[in-house]
Structure 1
Amino acid sequence: MRDFNGCAHTTMSSDTIYKEVVVVGNGPSGLGLSYMLAGNWPYYNNVAHPDEMLTARLHSSRHTRSLIHQDLKFLSQGLEGRSNNPVSVLMDCLTHPGADAGLDTPQLLKWRPHADKAVDHIVLGKGPPGGAWQAMDGNVLTISLNSWMELPGLEFRRWEARNGSPVTSTRRVPVASVAAYYRDYVKLMRLSKYFRSGVVVTSVRPIGGLASHPGEKIDSEADTATCHCHCHCHLSARWAVEGYDTVTNTPFLYVCRSVVLATGSTDLHNFLNVPGELSHPSWVFHDLADFEKALTELVKETPGIKEGYRTVDPVCIVGAGLSAADAVLSSRFHSLPIIHIFRRAEVSPERTLPENMYPEYHKVHQMMRSGGEGYPEYSAFPQHKVVDISAGDGKKVTTVSPSGLQVVHQVSLMAVLIGSRPDLSFLPPEFQDGQALAVDPEKTLDCRSNPISVDPWSHSVNGAPVGLYAMGPLGGDNFVRFLLGGALAIASDIYSERKELSPPHCV
């Protein structure tokens, strides 16, 4: 047993670590929140915003105070943007003013350090800081512009210049550059002490147990030992987070007042759930990078494809999203014939992708709309479903049309790219891998169509015990430019609670 935090009346097991906040996930969501919890606060810089009403609200509030302590509901009213979370729209308006109108305008925030306000926290991640960005194909260009990928305190273009790259205007950049930016961000912003990489979280649970059902909140202060002096010690903890180090296999246990779910949306691939889908991993892929590697090997094994004197069976691509579009583009680059299967009847480019900036995706959507007419070696099958995958006398994919007609296609490779979902199996079983916390608990948790239900002003999880938050894709924000809204909402709520609890006076 050891004395903890100078609190004479409390002791805790030597293998238990107390933190005020534990963040599960070290992608850009976790990075942005850590920056704020480290005491770096945003302030309005008094420059007028294109939205005159927002400017008026900013000036009518106590704009000399940080946004951390402002009325976020008041500031967010009437704003419109490409996020369903109002604080995310507010922060986007302040960090990327006029972005949707094509403007590249300096942000209207300045960030000030308050080292004395730092919250003791830890950010846990399986890999290096940056999360899923570290596992993506580094050669692919980002969907978002470079300035939309940056986090507070470190302009992306200045970081590029620091690393020997020319400072350019706003543009899309390779994923590898973004991944390196996020790795460097933790070091350059002096956040390393708050990060623990190479760990897997196996359990996140409220101390004292759950309520009888997810919609009923528990009084965690009453259900756990109470620290009457409100010191920041383990007696004030409401949550326990367990896991292990992937290198040493050493287990760990954190107890904390608050847990932030920031794991992103790419942990698990979605499946068709048809016969044979998982029986042929050598030619049926659910990951774009693996599929692209297989394409390269196929071309190597079949010389003459690009020259046109050798043919192969087509590759089959299932899906209508951006990953499927990337698979189509990669297959065409290698001059391979393509069978493209998708459920949609009407295909239109995502509203967030202007044609002048994303011509390649608009080209794929044009191919999909035309059914492949006018595009040699490309065949589109809208409103078709895959019903069977087999490999007897060849690799075969069976599809069914809207009229019920079944067709067997002989293929070389297959890519099933129909989205991904988060892995929240570490939550208590009552939360059903997060589904019980979704906006519609009767449907599968989906970061785009059915994210976790959060309070719009604090991002606390609705229907969960006190102290659980969700942000980023889990909370419905699927683009980096909107992540700071969730970070601000959570940091504001945590600092507000801190203020309500008198400063620690351990006896």
Structure 2
Amino acid sequence: MALRPIPEHVDTVIVGNGPSALILSFILHGNIPYYSHSRPHPDPILHKKLSESSCLLDVDVQDLTAHFAASRLSYSTQALPINVLLDTLLRPLADTDPEEYDTCLEWRLEPGRKVSHVVLGNTAQVGGQWADNPVSASWDIGALSYAEMLSLPGYTFEEHYKNTRGGTLPKFHRPTRREVAEYLARYPEEVGIQESVYTNLKVGDVRRVDAGFYVESHNIICRHLVLASGIFSSLIPPRPSLRPLSALPRSNASSDAPLLVVGSGFTAADVIISTPAHRKIIHIFKWDPESRPSPLRACHLRAYPEYARVYRRMKLAAKQSLGPRGVSSPLTRRKSDQFFEDVAGRDRDHFYEGLPNTYIKEVAVSGDTAHLSLETGDGTMLQREISSMEYVIGRRGSLAYLNNSLAEAILGTPDETKDHPPAISGRTLRSRSESNLELAPDIFVTGSLTGDSLIRFAYGSCVFAAREIIRRTKAAAVTFGGTVHTETASIPTDPLGDPPESGHHDFISTNGHSDLHVDRAMRSLSMDREISTCEPWRESGWWAGGCILS
């Protein structure tokens, strides 16, 4: 896709080619979401309001969501109201009775609303970070989200599964990252947006000009700019004293020296799960279950067995580090050993060593191995040899493609140097997104940059951006190709609605994992309802969570 010429003048440039960028492109191709009167939503208040105005580009989000906090139905209290609205229309009662109601949305092709645009991403294939794997984790680990919650409009994951595998998509299916990456790669062609989507492009030096914005890296002028580059574009680097360990060969699996894994979240767990059964692992992780628990704690054994087992290992290692107080009974130890029997065939005592709250004090690299001096939480000094390291304490995004003045307008502080651009997390733009998804005149934000990183919550921000872009494009008589002087469009003061006093914004989730419910898997296994709580999912990593990864 990257070899095709890129238009020099378009209405909108979308930076990023992950799920939210693809959803927005689908809408800007003239596919408009409408409320389907033939499939009433189970919320009678919402149904009545939408019956009066069924086009989702014309609705008042504040009015439609004002009653959510007091509703008898279960609505998310962590995601942005517009994201919650689109999610419940796409999949009514998705977390409690997913098979009871069909989708309440229908997509109508309206060519008159089509807007010229390009989607620019730096990954080798469409899909954002779903198409990228910077760590030694398997492509065949199941995502945390169910298949239907990973679907994009116009071509669902269920349709993709049927077309590529034949048969019916299994219930409660957690597709692997490989499956999701293949689905996203095929999506543009299936829905007819491929001519607007580009890969293998590094965007840079985006600045504001009279005509709108100029993307110097690709000589593009546009009126609207959409930030869909996500918060998962790069791993958080090791501190300087540990960087020599990054030079150790990753493919050193045959070495007798262990693999060092640093991290306490999903990515660390993915590396552990993916490591061959015969290879020893030293796992250094932060353990603070009261103040900052690992996101793995929210994984129930029956719904997410692989992650639950890694968390149990960490928990047992933390108990053992407490000395006699943490020693379990022989019966408990026997149960624990059985618990780990089918985890990659690895015996916990011989192949896994967990070191909670341990600090790496000294590093000495010698050839293909390194010697470490470690200090545990109780002050004990340890010496270990390793053959390679996976430093996976989290991922962040970057707006380094914006020039200093635009970066300052978005972040509030100047970006003094492009050599060290500020790292972007789910918290960075969350408070501003709550007030307005238009962060500066004609600059919109979608996907995980809004603070809601699950794909299921990507639709709302895309609908908002599409609404404003389509309105302004049709209202402005602008011909690109010369110097254009236009009056700056006014920013709606209340696009999302003020948060209800008792509802949507009582807790700011950095990535939406707090709404990754496991109710359905629990019911299907005849178990009690169990819903993941907010805090354990905070800062919980990347693709394995079904994240937007725009």
TM > 0.5: yes
Q: Aligned letter for 2:107? A: W
Residue correspondence of structure 1 range 385-464 to structure 2 within 5 A: 385-392=359-366, 394-430=369-405, 436-437=411-412, 445-451=423-429, 453-456=431-434, 459-461=437-439, 464=440
Could you say if the C-alpha distance between residues 352 and 427 of structure 1 is closer, same or farther in structure 2, counting changes exceeding 3 Å? farther
Deviation per CA, 1:464-498: give whole Å up to 9, x if none. Answer: 3x111111122212111111111011112223334
Distance across 2 between alignment mates of 1:504 and 1:436: 31
8 Å contact from structure 1 (residues 451, 473) kept in 2: no
Deviation per CA, 1:194-221: give whole Å up to 9, x if none. Answer: 12223211111111xxxxxxxxxxxxxx
Higher relative contact order (CA 8 A, sep 6+): 2
In structure 2, the residue matched to 1:322 is 266
Residue correspondence of structure 1 range 361-400 to structure 2 within 5 A: 361-371=307-317, 374=333, 375-377=348-350, 378-392=352-366, 394-400=369-375
8 Å contact from structure 1 (residues 349, 361) kept in 2: no
Residue correspondence of structure 1 range 73-472 to structure 2 within 5 A: 73-79=62-68, 80-81=75-76, 83-101=78-96, 103-104=98-99, 105-126=101-122, 127-136=124-133, 137-168=138-169, 169-207=171-209, 224=210, 237-243=211-217, 252-278=218-244, 280-283=246-249, 291=250, 294=251, 297-298=252-253, 301=254, 312-331=256-275, 333-346=276-289, 347=293, 349-350=295-296, 353-371=299-317, 374=333, 375-377=348-350, 378-392=352-366, 394-430=369-405, 436-437=411-412, 445-451=423-429, 453-456=431-434, 459-461=437-439, 464=440, 466-472=441-447
User: Any idea what SS the aligned residue of 1:202 has?
Assistant: coil
Could you say if the C-alpha distance between residues 278 and 263 of structure 1 is closer, same or farther in structure 2, counting changes exceeding 3 Å? farther
Distance across 2 between alignment mates of 1:387 and 1:430: 40
8 Å contact from structure 1 (residues 73, 457) kept in 2: no
Could you say if the C-alpha distance between residues 435 and 487 of structure 1 is closer, same or farther in structure 2, counting changes exceeding 3 Å? closer
User: Any idea what SS the aligned residue of 1:376 has?
Assistant: helix
User: Any idea what SS the aligned residue of 1:34 has?
Assistant: helix
**Superposed displacement of residue 272, structure 1:** 2.9
Distance across 1 between alignment mates of 2:267 and 2:296: 13
In structure 1, the residue matched to 2:486 is none
**Superposed displacement of residue 435, structure 1:** 8.0
Q: Aligned letter for 2:121? A: G
- Report whether the alignment pairs 1:60 with 2:49: yes
Deviation per CA, 1:341-360: give whole Å up to 9, x if none. Answer: 11232145557644422111
Distance across 1 between alignment mates of 2:228 and 2:433: 15
Distance across 1 between alignment mates of 2:98 and 2:463: 24
**Superposed displacement of residue 116, structure 1:** 1.1
Structure 2, unpaired ranges of 5+: 69-74, 321-332, 334-347, 414-420, 482-550
8 Å contact from structure 1 (residues 435, 444) kept in 2: no
Distance across 2 between alignment mates of 1:390 and 1:266: 31
8 Å contact from structure 2 (residues 92, 102) kept in 1: yes
8 Å contact from structure 1 (residues 425, 433) kept in 2: no
Could you say if the C-alpha distance between residues 56 and 25 of structure 1 is closer, same or farther in structure 2, counting changes exceeding 3 Å? same
User: Any idea what SS the aligned residue of 2:87 has?
Assistant: helix
Q: Which moved more, 1:121-130 or 1:398-407?
A: 398-407
Distance across 2 between alignment mates of 1:437 and 1:159: 42
**Superposed displacement of residue 119, structure 1:** 0.8
Distance across 2 between alignment mates of 1:102 and 1:353: 21
- Report whether the alignment pairs 1:49 with 2:38: no
User: Any idea what SS the aligned residue of 1:327 has?
Assistant: helix
User: Any idea what SS the aligned residue of 2:165 has?
Assistant: coil
TM-score by length of 1: 0.76
Deviation per CA, 1:387-419: give whole Å up to 9, x if none. Answer: 443214951233333344443321222211111
Distance across 2 between alignment mates of 1:503 and 1:354: 55
Distance across 1 between alignment mates of 2:51 and 2:476: 23
8 Å contact from structure 1 (residues 349, 365) kept in 2: no
In structure 2, the residue matched to 1:485 is 460
**Superposed displacement of residue 431, structure 1:** 5.8
Distance across 2 between alignment mates of 1:82 and 1:352: 18
Q: Aligned letter for 1:76? A: T
Q: Which moved more, 1:168-177 or 1:495-504?
A: 495-504
Distance across 2 between alignment mates of 1:412 and 1:365: 24
User: Any idea what SS the aligned residue of 1:162 has?
Assistant: helix
User: Any idea what SS the aligned residue of 1:171 has?
Assistant: coil
**Superposed displacement of residue 93, structure 1:** 1.3
8 Å contact from structure 1 (residues 24, 261) kept in 2: yes
Identity %: 25
User: Any idea what SS the aligned residue of 2:313 has?
Assistant: helix
8 Å contact from structure 1 (residues 316, 414) kept in 2: yes
Distance across 2 between alignment mates of 1:357 and 1:475: 28
Q: Aligned letter for 1:32? A: I
Distance across 2 between alignment mates of 1:401 and 1:432: 41
8 Å contact from structure 2 (residues 296, 307) kept in 1: no
CA RMSD between the two structures = 3.1
In structure 1, the residue matched to 2:324 is none
Distance across 2 between alignment mates of 1:199 and 1:94: 34
Could you say if the C-alpha distance between residues 334 and 350 of structure 1 is closer, same or farther in structure 2, counting changes exceeding 3 Å? closer
Aligned residues: 425
User: Any idea what SS the aligned residue of 1:69 has?
Assistant: coil
Deviation per CA, 1:270-303: give whole Å up to 9, x if none. Answer: 02314142465124xxxxxxx5xx2xx52xx36x
User: Any idea what SS the aligned residue of 1:68 has?
Assistant: coil
